[in-house]
Amino acid sequence: MRAVVCQNTELSVQDLPEPTPGPGQVRLEVVRCGVCGSDLHARHGFDEWADMAEGVGYERFGRVAQPVVLGHEFCGRVAEYGPRTKRTVAEDTPVVALPMLRNRDADAIDLTGLSRHAPGAYAEQVLVEASLMLPVPNGLDPEVAALTEPMAVARHAVLRGEVARKQVAVVVGCGPVGLGVILMLKAQGVRTVVASDPSASRRELAARCGADVVV
């Protein structure tokens, strides 16, 4: 299969072996994959992030000198189930999945698209955990479905913030996740959302997403 490989800060299209799903895993044909800001930073900053990850006990984060297939915001179609894997959805069904992959040989959980041990979706195919896979509902466009992961991050932030409806929420930074936070806050019924960003275009997007005050 073809994949975009990041190594020594360079990106190149390479032919890689087709991934084989293990027990509990599913191979997807990638339909859409987003370009996350983390991917852009990782290209040059893998080593710094890997050092921080090692500080909290994760030693399998990608490094600049290693070949890593990026891409953790994706939508795909079910192509193949691994052995002893429950078939929860039919093949060719559009799905999304949380970007984490279990490596049973190493007894480790790897971050899909940010570790050479779990190649991401800048490729024609990607492996996912069946337990973390969800069918795309109601004919949702794959380009929208691929936003599931960043929107889940935004939802998690709002839940952690515990902002009450009558309180004022302040969102600093209106990139994709920040905009997602604004959407989640308004969907939750928060009356006043203040959004701040130095970019005029992002402030405009924040207002379109429901921010009551933009600065």
pLDDT score at 179: 98
Asked whether residue 113 carries a pLDDT value surpassing 90, the answer given is: yes
* Domain total in the chain: 2
Pick the last residue of a domain from 87, 122, 142: 142
Does 201 share its domain with 156? Answer: yes
Q: Are 1 and 124 within 8 A, CB to CB?
A: yes
Confidence of residue 181 (pLDDT cuts 50, 70, 90): very high
Does 43 share its domain with 105? Answer: yes
DSSP label at residue 143: H
For 69-112, the pLDDT digits (tens) are 999 999 999 999 999 999 999 999 999 999 999 998 889 999 99
Asked whether residue 36 carries a pLDDT value surpassing 90, the answer given is: yes
Does 6 share its domain with 104? Answer: yes
Q: What is the pTM of this model?
A: 0.91
Pick the last residue of a domain from 116, 142, 168: 142
Does 23 share its domain with 108? Answer: yes
pLDDT score at 63: 97
Q: Are 131 and 81 within 8 A, CB to CB?
A: no
Cα separation of 183 and 211, whole Å? 8
Cα separation of 193 and 39, whole Å? 28
Does 57 share its domain with 85? Answer: yes
Does 19 share its domain with 125? Answer: yes
pLDDT > 70 fraction of the chain, expressed in percent and rounded: 100
Does 35 share its domain with 95? Answer: yes
pLDDT score at 191: 97
Q: Could you tell me the CATH number of the domain that includes residue 43?
A: 3.90.180.10
Asked whether residue 41 carries a pLDDT value surpassing 90, the answer given is: yes
pLDDT score at 105: 87
Pick the last residue of a domain from 122, 142, 162: 142
Does 28 share its domain with 112? Answer: yes
Residue ranges making up the domain that contains 41:
2-142
Does 46 share its domain with 132? Answer: yes
Does 74 share its domain with 42? Answer: yes
pLDDT score at 48: 97
Mean per-residue pLDDT of the chain: 96
Does 104 share its domain with 9? Answer: yes
Region 9-17: mean pLDDT is 98
Does 123 share its domain with 156? Answer: no
49, containing H or E segment: helix 37-55
pLDDT score at 7: 98
Region 6-29: mean pLDDT is 97
Asked whether residue 9 carries a pLDDT value surpassing 90, the answer given is: yes
Confidence of residue 59 (pLDDT cuts 50, 70, 90): very high
